[in-house]
Amino acid sequence: MTLRNALRIPASEVTDEAVYLQRRKFVAALAVAPALGLPGCADAVPPPPEGATVTEAEARAGFKTDEPLTRYEDVTSYNNFYEFGTNKDDPSKAARTLRTSPWSVAVGGECDKPGTLSLDDLLKGLTPEERIYRLRCVEGWSMVIPWLGVPLADVLKRFAPNSRARYVAFTTLADREQMPGLRYRSIDWPYREGLRIDEAMNPLTLLATGLYGKALPQQNGAPLRLVVPWKYGFKSIKSIVAITFTRNPPHCSWNQLQPSEYGFFSNVNPDVDHPRWSQKTERRIAGSGSKLFAERIPTRLFNGYADQVGEMYAGMNLKRWF
Ligand SMILES: Nc1nc2c(c(=O)[nH]1)N[C@H]1C(S)=C(S)[C@@H](COP(=O)(O)O)O[C@H]1N2
Ligand SMILES: [Mo]
């Protein structure tokens, strides 16, 4: 039995992104005008306010939560990883073909020390820490996951970003031989995401290498994935092969597909509904047995991380810049 069946929720509630992709085939024929210039489009993103800081104590308070964890089996069998299919149980089956070693990451763009490094060299001298974060998918479900990883900032600093580096772009592997989902042109492969550089440098932003004290399973984005806990899950890009410092807002796969539904920031916000559903509440996949998905809980601004990240958006209209 799939988790979805176990949870007794209809496919329509948990595959909204997939449903969107199907619907898009029809809409694409009508959409002759490019989306450039629409509100939420990434070509004019507000810069960070000056002097925004998060104290060490504030940051630390966000590193752990004592909410019930999502079970390992659920974290690793209820996944979104479209390179391996759009059903929640596709990645756990199909991603076994993903070869995660050897693995290298190309880091470049606006920095003084670009380079292509093996995973070991990229992470050399950094000790993975445990971070227990909430993960809120834009589809309306959430999990609590104990990640292992290193602060993204510690890795980025090694490449000496220059003063023109205002954003950081991330790219997932796109290999048709290993990734059956690439046959479908749902996304303009490779999957890409991006952050403003202050967001990338925030102490909460993690480059994850594991979960539950073990190496990251392929379906969760092995061997290296981003975790940005105050943003909708699709910003947390998996199986990263390139990191690029840019002057301009980078290409973000979901924003590019439909800018009116998926903003560049995509900060979790209960007061900004998705055009096709409310974001006020979420179904928490945590606990055990029949309690799974039982309760809807209120969604919190910045997924409950306002103390850690709120200052980065001071003065910004969160309804316009969703
Ligand atoms: N490359 C890539 N990264 C991705 C996705 C994807 O389809 N491809 N899905 C995103 C979405 S929508 C979510 S909710 C999270 C899910 O992460 P998890 O499966 O580890 O819970 O991964 C994100 N990262
Ligand atoms: Mo998601």
pLDDT in tens, 206-257: 999 999 999 999 999 999 999 999 999 999 999 999 999 999 999 999 999 9
User: 112 alpha carbon to ligand 1 midpoint, in Å?
Assistant: 31
For the entire predicted model, the pTM comes to 0.90
What lines the ligand 1 site, CB under 6 Å? Answer: 17, 79-83, 135, 137, 172, 191, 220-221, 233-234, 236-239
Structure confidence at residue 29 as a pLDDT band (50, 70, 90)? very low
Structure confidence at residue 7 as a pLDDT band (50, 70, 90)? very low
Each domain of the chain, given as residue ranges in start order, spans 3-313
Percent of the chain with pLDDT over 70: 84
CATH top class, domain 3-313: alpha beta
User: 113 alpha carbon to ligand 2 midpoint, in Å?
Assistant: 33
Determine if residue 96 is labeled as part of a ligand binding site: no
* Res 51: pLDDT: 81
Residue nearest to atom 4 of ligand 1 (CA): 237
User: 222 alpha carbon to ligand 1 midpoint, in Å?
Assistant: 11
Question: Mind spelling out the 3-state secondary structure of the chain?
Answer: CCHHHHCCCCHHHHCHHHHHHHHHHHHHHHCCCCCCCCCCCCCCCCCCCCCCCCCHHHHHHCCCCCCCCCCHHHHCCCCCCHHHCCCCCHHHHHHHHCCCCCCEEEEEECECCCEEEEHHHHHCCCCCEEEEEEEECCCCEEEEEEEEEEEHHHHHHCCCECCCCCEEEEEECCCCCCCHHHHCCCCCCCCEEEEEHHHHHCCCCEEEEEECCEECCHHHCCCCEEECCCECHHHCCCCEEEEEEECCCCCCHHHHHCCCCCCCCCECCCCCCECCECCCEEEECCCCHHHCCCCEEECCHHHHCHHHHHHHHCCCCCCCCC
Lowest-pLDDT choice from 7-11, 214-218, 269-273: 7-11
Structure confidence at residue 22 as a pLDDT band (50, 70, 90)? low
Determine if residue 137 is labeled as part of a ligand binding site: yes
Q: Atom of ligand 1 at shortest distance to CA of 211?
A: 20
Q: Is the pLDDT of residue 32 over 80?
A: no
